[in-house]
Structure 1
Amino acid sequence: MNHKILQILKNGGLFVLLLGLTFYIILKDNSLSQIASAVSDVELPYIFLGIGAMAIFLSCEALNIMRCLKLFGYEVSPLSAMKYAAVGFFFSSVTPSASGGQPMQVYYMYKDHIEVSHSTLALLFELLSFETVTVTLSIIGFLYQRNTISASMGNLKYLLLIGVGLNLMVMLLLIMAIFSRNAIKKAAKAVTRLVGFFSKTKADVLEELFTEQITEYQQSARYFKENKMIFAKTLTTTLVQILAMYSVPFLVYKGFGLGDFNVLEVIALQSVLYVAVSALPLPGALGVSESAFMILFRTMFPAGILSSAMVLSRGISFYLFVLVTGLCVAGLVLIKKKGASYGLYHTNC
């Protein structure tokens, strides 16, 4: 437990450091008063629409979690599903390569009496849908806006290729993990051998655990194979989820009273930006996302408001919801501690 706390503090410290460095770079050439002045000119309804779009993003995540867990007989309430979505968003945002989101969701589901094998498979299935949609949209976006992207990105186009390549690898690994028994066995065997170099006793325990979990895992996978429509529904929900997030820059664009570019052009650029930076081992892709925004969207926003547009777009789609979901996680911890101190805490929500 102490190790987990130290790891969270370390990741949180890195997040704060990157956040400070990012805003130092932004404000180096643009005073805070200039950015505040430009942001104050944005029409408020578009800001609220952007916040609403991100609320849709989290709601779609919650809906997919509910749908996938229902296959295993779990009737998860909308409130609990939103809790898991908030936990996933927050820990994905503050850990490198979004590595902390799913493990923490599995932890909170386990505390609510959901089997680890079931929660893991449900989240892997949901992640596969997420990767499928983001990679597909990025390829379509690049083809649709290739001239603008090629002219704007320069050597950064290689970052896009790396991002797409890594995300494609993740997709293939997820497909193997969900649908291939041999792939899971080989992966488990490799991990057991690695642990065996340091401790044969732990390796034996791990092998027994893997054998038990793989059997459960494959039984769970049959649910998805026998309910193929579940993936179509999950993909549709994920498409709505991603388009909602990608629409934030367009809403900011309209909020500044601009209209030379349409919604498809803006979403195409955002889809490319997201995949290009998503695989980088930085919490929330801090710094890189902001820099890539300034490069990709410079043909769209006038130079005088580009920095303000970036701050507002990232503020709505990332910083604000890191704060909101972080407060939710803090509230869950406080409720658990308070309940435990009075002997009233129940894990099921």
Structure 2
Amino acid sequence: MQNTGERRIRRRSSVSLAFILSMLVIMLLILFRHHSMDEIQELLMSLKAKWLLAAVGCVLLSYLCEMACFYVITRKIHGKASWRTSFRVTMAGVYFNSVTPFACGGEPFQVSYLMDDGIPMGSCANIIMVKSTIFQASVFLFSVFSYVFNADALYRLVERFDLFFIAGISVNIIVILFYGLFLVNKTAAKKTVNLVFKLLGKCHIIKEPEKYGKKKEEEIEHFARASRMIFNDAGAITVAFVFQFVNLLLGYVVPYFLLVSLEGKYDAFFDMVTSQAILRQITAYIPSPGGAGGTEGISYFFFMNFFTKTPVVSVILIWRLLTYYFNIVFSGVYLMVIRERNFKSEIKQIRSGKAA
């Protein structure tokens, strides 16, 4: 029989998935309202397969870059790391961050997968915190570089670009400072470890977290020691940043491949990538799961000046199917297979124990 906590988690996930699917249905309704089936069929037939496959390849390669970033950070903090665990952590983040508001649901599950690899919980919390800081800083730096080197084109292409840029960068700076505080301040570190215990308890990864008083103190020390280790190694930080930058770039290139596939335009690479950097910074803080609803609306203002022959709504739909809905399906299936495999393994061990 499911307990209350498990039912609550399942209920929230169901509500989020229902909302995400409703956004997909709304986009389809808008598309079918303004375009006939013949027009949509013609659009699909015009897609050039090799460029569409290149877009899918970018999504898959981005998983590997994310995995490599986790691997580098984990190896530095813990002393050793597993590629398999790093990929599981990546998939947990991809799935649970996609189906929760503010993309904040993946952390407890990522900590859980890291703990399964024998890493102390305090170090796990630090790994996730460092990775989140590097991600936010990479999004910030990428958008700043885009503004510095391509501001004139962005102002020409995106209406009210200055408002988008200022809003996104302001929130991003606050988030980076927040993460930084928790990494360098021991009082904040204590709050982080307490929060992680609380989240793990709510997710029923550990039971009765309030009983772990002594354990918490040990984990706080693990957290603080891990912070000192990672910040004293510029090389590891640099390598993690490189993987994160490539990860972002792969995501930003996807719309460019759609542009080439649908309209045969090859000369908009830099403008598309830099505009995507600004778009990513803004949509990261939309409170709905995966930014559903808001992301589609804001992206319209970015895409309308690139896609001049193709219905923009259809482009946004294809783009979201590749970069969002595909993420949910791929990571969800992967985690389901892993969970089923682990469950069968546990049952086999229990039966072997009884047989013995």
TM-score normalised to the size of structure 1? 0.85
Count of residue pairs the alignment pairs up:
336
Percent identity, please: 16
Instruction: Indicate if the aligned counterparts of 1:39 and 1:312 stay in contact, CA closer than 8 A.
Output: no
Q: Give, as a single letter, the amino acid of the residue that structure 2 aligns with 1:15.
A: I
Q: Give, as a single letter, the amino acid of the residue that structure 2 aligns with 1:20.
A: V
Matched, 1:272 2:272: no
Cα pair distance change 1:159/1:103, threshold 3 Å: farther
Alignment of 1:84-99 (within 5 A): 84-99=89-104
Counterpart of 1:114 in 2: which secondary structure?
coil
Equivalent of 1:30 in 23, 31, 35: 35
Cα pair distance change 1:177/1:304, threshold 3 Å: same
Equivalent of 2:312 in 306, 314, 322: 306
Say which is worse superposed, 319-328 or 76-85, in terms of deviation.
Answer: 76-85
For residues 165 and 230 of structure 2, the distance between their equivalents in structure 1, rounded to whole angstroms, comes to 32
> How far off is 1:234 after superposition?
0.7
Cα pair distance change 1:49/1:154, threshold 3 Å: closer
Q: Which residue of 2 aligns with 1:179?
A: 184
Matched, 1:120 2:125: yes
> How far off is 1:240 after superposition?
0.9
Gaps of 5+ in 2: 1-5, 197-207, 352-356
Instruction: Indicate if the aligned counterparts of 1:129 and 1:234 stay in contact, CA closer than 8 A.
Output: yes
Q: Give, as a single letter, the amino acid of the residue that structure 2 aligns with 1:331.
A: V
Instruction: Indicate if the aligned counterparts of 1:88 and 1:102 stay in contact, CA closer than 8 A.
Output: yes
Counterpart of 1:279 in 2: which secondary structure?
coil
Cα pair distance change 1:322/1:166, threshold 3 Å: same
Q: Which residue of 2 aligns with 1:198?
A: none
Q: Which residue of 1 aligns with 2:69?
A: 64
Matched, 1:263 2:269: yes
Q: Which residue of 2 aligns with 1:53?
A: 58
> How far off is 1:184 after superposition?
3.1
Q: Give, as a single letter, the amino acid of the residue that structure 2 aligns with 1:170.
A: V
Matched, 1:332 2:352: no
1:77-104 Cα deviation digits (max 9, x unpaired): 3233222211111111111111112222
For residues 104 and 22 of structure 2, the distance between their equivalents in structure 1, rounded to whole angstroms, comes to 18
Matched, 1:283 2:289: yes
Matched, 1:165 2:170: yes
Say which is worse superposed, 260-269 or 136-145, in terms of deviation.
Answer: 136-145
Say which is worse superposed, 295-304 or 4-13, in terms of deviation.
Answer: 4-13
Instruction: Indicate if the aligned counterparts of 2:63 and 2:90 stay in contact, CA closer than 8 A.
Output: yes
Q: Which residue of 1 aligns with 2:48?
A: 43
Q: Give, as a single letter, the amino acid of the residue that structure 2 aligns with 1:251.
A: F
For residues 32 and 223 of structure 1, the distance between their equivalents in structure 2, rounded to whole angstroms, comes to 59
TM-score normalised to the size of structure 2? 0.83
Q: Give, as a single letter, the amino acid of the residue that structure 2 aligns with 1:165.
A: S
Say which is worse superposed, 53-62 or 259-268, in terms of deviation.
Answer: 259-268
For residues 26 and 215 of structure 2, the distance between their equivalents in structure 1, rounded to whole angstroms, comes to 44
1:241-262 Cα deviation digits (max 9, x unpaired): 1111111011111112432643
Say which is worse superposed, 45-54 or 72-81, in terms of deviation.
Answer: 72-81
1:82-132 Cα deviation digits (max 9, x unpaired): 222111111111111111122221122223332221122112111111111
> How far off is 1:342 after superposition?
2.8
For residues 318 and 307 of structure 1, the distance between their equivalents in structure 2, rounded to whole angstroms, comes to 16
> How far off is 1:178 after superposition?
1.4
